[in-house]
Amino acid sequence: MQIIIRNKAFSFSTIFSFVIKPIKGLNDFLNRNEILFLPARYIYLIKNIIFEEFAKAFIMSNQIRVFSLETGNFKADGGTMFGVVPKVMWERIYPADENNFCPCACRSLLVVTGDRTILIDTGIGDKLDPDYAKFHYLFGDDNLLKSLKQVGFAPEDITDVILTHLHFDHCGGTTNFDAQGNSQIVFSNADIWVSKSQWNWAMNPNRREKAAYLKENLDPLARSARLKLVENPFFLTPDVELRFYDGHTKGLMSVFINLGNRRLVFAGDLLPAIPYIRLSFTAAYDISPLTSIEEKEVFLKELLDNDDILFMQHDINAEACTLKMTPKGIRENEILKVNEIFEI
């Protein structure tokens, strides 16, 4: 079990050694009333202040916490990003460079709740063949393990990995190459959750998606006893719900995270960036654009009605946003960073 204090993770044994044990000793000391020069009412006051503050800290430490993790960036052709939407419409919202490539983030999300440390998606990773990588223009110094370390976690701390789907930019960081060049799973203590329909889809890929399903990403998962194939929407924990969508690819899972007073929703490629809040904006990557539009319409209405926060995995400029209704339909409202959500 880990406890989060000021965005840093500490093991329970550390907390016990340096916090609980000294406080217990102080309590025993006060119970013996060895501070003879203090009246009993002052000792009572000291004990109540100490233990009330500790109780507040302990309650706070057990609340759900989330961390946005940058895993690196890439570029995608504007035409493939926005499909049939004319460039004159999308470039005002999401500009491209001189070669018509749009910069994209590749974010993961870490969710700490109770005794579970849950990682949602793992980015591209570091295994891409150079000839494959050159078409995706990788850039930036961030990577998944570096970002995990910055918030106080190591790969062995992860108890669950949720893969929204198995395209290379969402699951590549789940594995790496060992010294012999064999692909292996990075998160040795984690169950790995994938929808069964997406797994079957990736094992028998269609021609359009085949290049996105890489053998070195999937083979170690197929051999692992920790792979968990999900057949129906369900709650992984009381705070973490998984739902299925089929417009982008078969059996994509979006993740609804209950923060207590509102939800943070990891949409994945159902809605990867702010422009896609507009219903007509769909990617050429989507296997069923009409299904994407229908799914987004229901999805966005629910988020708006519940005042949920949308987490955007690929938007280079925005981690998250709230929503509002406008004469033109649902649109982005306030742009947020994940660490600001707890201050709202």
- Same domain? For 241 and 290 the reply is yes
Q: What is the pTM of this model?
A: 0.82
Helical H segments across the chain, by residue range: 12-15, 21-31, 40-61, 78-82, 87-90, 130-133, 144-150, 168-171, 196-203, 215-223, 289-305, 338-341
DSSP state, residue 315: B
- Same domain? For 33 and 176 the reply is no
Q: 197-236, pLDDT tens digit by residue?
A: 999 999 999 999 999 999 999 999 999 999 999 999 999 9
Last residue of a domain, one of 61, 76, 107: 61
CATH code where residue 140 lies: 3.60.15.10
- Same domain? For 320 and 240 the reply is yes
- Same domain? For 78 and 184 the reply is yes
Last residue of a domain, one of 39, 61, 83: 61
| 3-state per-residue secondary structure call for 177-200 | ECCCCCEEECCCCCEEEEEHHHHH
Contacts of 276 (CB under 8 A, 6+ apart): 282, 283, 296
Indicate the number of domains in the chain: 2
Which stretch of DSSP H or E encloses residue 104?
strand 101-113
Predicted pLDDT at 63:
79
Give the domain range for residue 183: 65-341
Predicted pLDDT at 29:
55
Q: Are 308 and 302 in contact (CB under 8 A)?
A: yes
- Same domain? For 43 and 95 the reply is no
C-alpha distances (whole Å) from 232 to each of 253, 268, 286 are 10, 18, 22
- Same domain? For 163 and 142 the reply is yes
Q: In this structure, how many other beta carbons lie within 10 angstroms of the beta carbon of residue 29? A: 12
- Same domain? For 53 and 72 the reply is no
